[in-house]
Amino acid sequence: MTTRADSPAERRSWTSRVRERAEVALPPDKLLPDRQPEYVASWIYVFGVATIAALIFIVASGVVLTLEGPQWYHVSAVGHFVNSVHLWSVELFFVFMVVHLWGKFWMAAWRGRRVMTWITGVVSFLASIGAAFTGYLVQTNFDSQWISSEAKDGLNSVGIGAWFNVVNVGQMLLWHVVLLPLVVGAIVVWHVLLVRRHGVVPPLDAREETSP
């Protein structure tokens, strides 16, 4: 037997409570806005979107590399190209993210109840460093062997080498293609939702107004 949408039983269900909270936190006009403040036209606001665009290329090229395997991207011309796309997407990702972070730092982006937005951005940057580091470790070439052999002593000295074994290619591969991408992706989604909820941070001398 079903209940009416406005019945007390429906309002008490956990699904209805989750929906109501989601609608309050992210109403449609905030989640998918059709207007932005005038100051968003400034170039400094481009780098957040550019970072996400680079991340999309990283994930797409990484999926192809994972499906085909190391031998393919070491000996195939197409594999070399996809591997290069993956590498340069990572390079651009970090360039855009660093500019984005520094730009928001000098704009005091934690203003206006945006502290968590700033924190998630910093945490995603730190998690991305781990993802890039494990990526270097799974290149299956001389560079990766040298990096892992040099890094193991440093990690062992701080007591984490027992469970984060950089000379174990299989373990590093799983960190790189499964765990860390999920962490980075989840934090980035959270970050974007917080930006939608609180809006982009205005310049220090601007008012938070939405232009028609």
Residues 34-62 pLDDT 10s: 788 888 888 889 999 999 999 999 999 99
Categorize the per-residue pLDDT at 25 as very low, low, confident or very high, splitting at 50, 70 and 90. confident
For residue 57, how far is the Cα from the chain centroid? 12
Residue 32: predicted pLDDT? 79
The token duo for 2 is 């079903």
pLDDT averaged over the chain?
87
**What phi and psi values does residue 37 have, to the nearest 5 degrees?**
-60, 155
Q: 210 pLDDT exceeds 80?
A: no
Residues with Cβ within 8 Å of residue 43, at least 6 apart in sequence: none
